[in-house]
Chain A
């Protein structure tokens, strides 16, 4: 398996534009997590899905952020409209919940810069 795949790796966009980040989890994993990492706030859990259903989105900063998981092999995180303070590295991770050792596998991240 190629691991968790995120795209794009880098995104530079202007304030006010819509940004869509994509994630393909590891095949067979039933849980998917979106994290945001900044120097100031560290690694924050934004939302996580179990069996394609959003379980906890309490970490989503505002209504400008939305996430979907239409099927077991794909998820998106959308920011509309984007703002400079959204600049961060966004990580997607997947795991197999229900197994004894729920190790999370991370993608390489998407570095978002909003100017």
Chain B
């Protein structure tokens, strides 16, 4: 089974609103990453947060990590129509290996 599980599975908002997506995982991690995928394209790395970090910012993105709850959230502020995509969280397992496991993703639709 996949390591990460995102929710919601789908999210529809108006341009200008904030979008929040959540991710839960099962085992200890080295870091957690968020990726974006536009329809028919490969995944693009957005941001990485290490297991000893609690919050990280990058432009309009804010990521939090709660290792006690094994969860993370991705906040996109002031969303734009161009943010419409699927968003995935990925974890590198803390097993001495470097498997990057992806969740099922959240499909975000931003209406202009």
Contact = CB atoms under 8 A, between A and B. Distances in A.
Interface of A: 4, 31, 33, 35, 42-45, 48, 50, 55-56, 91, 93, 95, 97, 101-109
B97 A33 contact: no
Contacts of B102: 35, 42-43, 45
Please report whether the interface of chain A is mostly helix, strand, loop or mixed according to DSSP.
strand
Interface residues of B, number: 22
Given A103-B48, A106-B44, A45 B97 contact: no
Contacts, number: 60
B105 A43 contact: yes
Contact of A101 (B2, B48, B98, B105): B48
A56 B99 contact: yes
A48 to B, nearest CB: 6
A42 B42 contact: no
Contacts of B97: 55-56
